[in-house]
């Protein structure tokens, strides 16, 4: 049986793609014929298993790169290694994120550095590193923000500040990289229960409060986010500088 030729397939790099939403984004792009570079930090086993499945389906259609995005030197190495994979990049998806509480009175400089680095600094420097190849290929950038940057989120001020910076970067780079590169964002609502509030018994009241505030009365799915990311990256040829809310109407108030 003749194997399909991947040599002309577009290339996407997705940060934090070993599991959860990032892995689903990788699956959607791969299903649509992309070669996928899966970045991970700690989820190497998951990332390698994901890539193995992709490569079984289509040889040499996926690679795995591991890097700590809070280390600025590793960002440069990640960009270098990503271009070594297939020679260019068509789409960058900034999905990787740190997320945890930082109640006022207990916020440390390390909290600030970690949350700003993973959610804002790393996306900025990755965009800078890939700007040349994305311009050459009339590519696209999609950033994953958060609906709570507009509403506020008690106990998570550092995280929401970092995501707000990412949204501001989306608008600024949409201007700076135009007309060759489109830059947009997807703003998820309640998609997966956060790992610190995922137990249906222990966190039943908290989960019920969240669902009560969603007009569609349910969580979204990882696929809802992945399809939105793919649409903005691949199909939305006349959209740039925009943030697409995928939140079941929760931002309506």
Residue 162 lies in a domain: yes
Residue 233 lies in a domain: yes
Radius of gyration of the chain (CA): 18
The pLDDT value given to residue 1: 45
The pLDDT value given to residue 4: 59
The pLDDT value given to residue 5: 64
pLDDT along the chain (253 residues), means of 10: 70 97 98 98 97 98 98 96 98 96 97 97 98 98 94 94 98 98 95 73 83 89 97 98 94 79
Q: What is the DSSP-derived secondary structure letter of residue 2?
A: P
Residue 208 lies in a domain: no
182 pairs with which residues across the strands?
140
Query: How many separate domains does the chain show?
Result: 1
Question: Taking a C-beta distance cutoff of 8 angstroms, is the pair 197, 203 a contact?
Answer: yes
Which residue's entry shows tokens 């990503």? 82
162: domain CATH number is 3.40.50.720
Query: Angle 196-199-205 (CA atoms, 0-180°, nearest 5)?
Result: 95
Residue 199 lies in a domain: no
The pLDDT value given to residue 206: 83
How many residues are listed for the chain in this entry? 253
pTM (2 decimals)? 0.94
Question: Taking a C-beta distance cutoff of 8 angstroms, is the pair 222, 20 a contact?
Answer: yes
Query: Angle 232-96-191 (CA atoms, 0-180°, nearest 5)?
Result: 70
Residue numbers annotated as active site: 159
Name the residue among 133, 199, 143 with its Cα closest to residue 173.
Answer: 143
Domain, as residue range, for 121: 11-194+221-246
């Amino acid at each position: 049986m003749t194997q399909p030729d991947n040599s002309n397939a577009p290339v996407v790099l997705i940060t934090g793609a070993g599991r959860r939403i990032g892995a689903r984004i990788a699956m959607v792009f791969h299903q649509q014929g992309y070669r996928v570079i899966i970045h991970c930090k700690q989820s190497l086993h998951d990332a390698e298993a994901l890539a193995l499945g992709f490569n079984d389906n289509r040889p040499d259609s996926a690679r795995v790169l591991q890097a700590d995005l809070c280390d600025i030197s590793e960002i440069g190495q990640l960009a270098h290694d990503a271009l070594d994979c297939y020679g260019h990049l068509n789409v960058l998806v900034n999905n990787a994120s740190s997320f945890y509480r930082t109640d006022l009175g207990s916020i440390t400089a390390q909290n600030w550095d970690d949350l700003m680095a993973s959610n804002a600094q790393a996306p900025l420097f990755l965009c800078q590193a890939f700007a040349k190849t994305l311009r050459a290929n009339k590519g696209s950038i999609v950033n994953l923000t958060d609906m709570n940057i507009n509403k506020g989120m008690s106990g998570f001020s550092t995280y929401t500040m970092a995501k707000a910076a990412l949204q501001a970067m989306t608008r600024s780079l949409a201007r700076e990289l135009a007309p060759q590169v489109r830059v947009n964002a997807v703003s998820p609502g309640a998609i997966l229960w956060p790992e610190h509030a995922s137990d249906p018994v222990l966190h039943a009241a908290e989960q019920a409060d969240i669902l009560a505030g969603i007009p569609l009365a349910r969580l979204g799915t990882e696929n809802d986010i992945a399809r939105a990311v793919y649409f903005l990256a691949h199909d939305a040829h006349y959209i740039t500088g925009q943030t697409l809310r995928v939140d079941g109407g929760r931002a309506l108030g």
